[in-house]
Structure 1
Amino acid sequence: MSKAAEIDIVSVSKVYGTTTAVEAISLKIPAGTYCCLLGPSGCGKTSTLRMIAGHESISSGDVRLGNTVVTDLPPARRGTAMMFQSYALFPHLDLIDNVAFSLKMKGVGKDERRAKALDMLKLMQMEAYAPRRPAQLSGGQQQRVALARALITDPEALLLDEPLSALDPFLKIRMRAELKKLQTSLGITFVHVTHSQEEAMALADLIVVMNEGRIEQAAHPRTVFERPATAFVARFMGDHNVVSGRVTGSHDGMVVFDVPGGASLAASGQGREAGEPIDIAIRTDHVRIGEPPAKGLGFTGIVANIEYRGSTVKLSVNGTGIEDFTVIVDDADFFAKPVAVGDAVPIAWDAEDAIVLGRLDS
């Protein structure tokens, strides 16, 4: 295989008429990284992937692959390969000819390209199916063939557009493990578009969370999970409660703020001016129920909903000025001291679990 390449995206924008799909994003993806572009529909992640591939023109900015600026190069000359969401296999060709197609376009001789295609099918454990047509394969098998076809050109980076979205939940998890194993063994850069937080967490060394054409955070999965950069990331990843208010002051390394129509709370952080808007995040699984909170580190609320989830129980609690506050508690702890919908319960957390979030300049 060819070596992996670093991908450097420099102030790249994509404008369709009056709509800005991607707004001046800059991102370095180190060579050999498994990078997931993550975000809701319409956030610009697929446009970004297609601009790296050369299937979408860049309105402004540059893309560099290794030492080469590829902004104006056609897809075939970039050193990237793309695997499409639909797999786009040719129904009338057997698997060997499907996989060998790009080599045929490059003028590689029939015996050589078919031998290389068979090697790629072996890598995907699909050589036994070589004489078949795509319609005779399952979804997971078709995906393996699409991967073999993308990898036959020895790309420095493989670009994957929602590659697991068409698979059933069990196959998704199996193929996730295979993709990770494949990337590790090939050592090339993978850039994978998904709207699934779970998929991104399971696969990526680098998660890039996008929203409305901009990058909200680019970091290791654990950092994104433990220290979300913005309120959007905290809400999208789904593991933090976000509480907003206005700063009233600070003391002992804590910033104090009022929730509209509600309590006064505190969070770890400083350098905030009185009257400034503030968002804080509190991990859902670091919240305790039934324990009176220290000053500014909790509130009393009414239990609105309880969901049993096996090893954990999820509670939704409403406080004054705070709606749908989520608490995830261990099932043994919950059933040792159960509460019911409609109960008033104190909610508490530790100072280090309340983090002040940044805001993107609008």
Structure 2
Amino acid sequence: MKILVISNYRTTVTARPEAEIFIGLQEKGHEVTIMTYGDADYNKKFKEKGLKVIPFHPTKKRDKESIAFIREELIRGKYDILQMFNSLAYFNGIPAAKGLPVKVVLYRGYTGNIAWYDPFMYLKYFNSRVDGVVCLVEAIRKLFVKNAPWAKQKFRTINKGHDIGWYKIDKEFDLSPFGVKKDDVSFICAANDRKMKGVVHLLKATHYLDENTPMHLFLAGNGMGKPEFQKLIDESPLKKNIHLLGFRDNILEIVKDCDVFVLASLYGEAITKAVIEAMSLGKAPLITDIPGNVNLVISGESGIVVPPANAKALAEGMKTYISNRELIRKYGKAAQDRIQTVYHTSKTVKEFEEFYNELLG
């Protein structure tokens, strides 16, 4: 089949799980054309793998020139599938496909703001010209079906797959300057501060631990030094072992040298990329069971999953890991294996191909 993709591939790390889908489809014999920004990091690899790259991406919503440009390419290339991944693409690509035989497919990567009464939904996901919507997680698909039951057949859950080979880290990050000793268990939470990230509950969890607990907690990301957090740190019996790292561009190096990755999110997220990256590095996860991460970690097999907004449950999860270092190794290996099997990029390629074939009949 012939596939035209419109998306943003400027940053390799964030774009990779998506970009590799279409490299995989090209390798399976389909003809893929990528329409993206001319300075996108992935353009070189796309071309090396035989994909055609058109250096263009809409910069305004419902722009007449952009609509005309996309429509001209759709007609010239006689595409079977038009796959788009962002609002700028949607608002120009959907009208560009009007009256053409191409199947229009959109993407949804987060769970919030899906409602039948939202008029913008009918310009995008509920639009009658849209033939399919790929949902990153099942929680998103269920929300769509609940709000648009008349179009339930168009929504399909397909996770963006990964490969643990993408996350090989050669550099070491030395934790000893922070006072971490050989037998201490190091936990890391990497997230920019937003209420939905649940950092308050994570810090409160340390209040349930004894001051002599052999552990350290690292908080990496923007906004972690806010007064509310600092107050909770100052009141914690482990205040000397809680470290604010701020934003780090070498975060994967730090995650690699910690023992456990913690996610205390409360709501609103789909599958969390930071957790996937940590699992790919073989880190044992301690996460909350928000809808978007259902089945990412199987509690008791590949990590520990606790209820959201529950500091005591987070503390118990920490104690479990601290008292059993072998469990850290076991769950870390199982988490890595889960990414390489259940969430591998090859599975995603297969599922995209199947969905496209269904749409084409």
Whether TM-score is above 0.5 comes out as: no
Q: 1 or 2, which has the higher strand percentage?
A: 1
- TM-score, normalising length: structure 1: 0.29
